[in-house]
Amino acid sequence: MEEIVKKIQASIDEIKPFLQQDGGDIELIEVTPDFTVKVRLQGACGSCPYRIQTLKLGVEDKLKTDVPQVKEVVAI
């Protein structure tokens, strides 16, 4: 599990610069035993009307590609 969390964090670290360009950010909060990834969208991403699309079509797709064990990504 620890190795998978490291891979998830590395994938999120690759996404961060793109979100930061638009005044946002993302923070990994938790990876559950069933590999649901909980993140916190911050800054402009936290209040953006497109945050669900960013989360599902951007973050979730990238994480599932990089770490196939990921079941889903949810914002808390």
Spatial contact of 49 and 29, defined as CB atoms under 8 Å apart? no
In the chain, which residue ranges form alpha helices assigned H by DSSP? 2-21, 44-47, 51-53, 61-66
Percent of the chain's residues with pLDDT above 90:
82
Average the pLDDT over 40-44 and give the result.
92
Does the 2-75 domain belong in CATH 3.30.300.130?
yes
Q: So where are the chain's domains?
A: 2-75
> According to the per-residue pLDDT averaged within each range, which of 2-16, 33-47, 49-63 is highest?
2-16
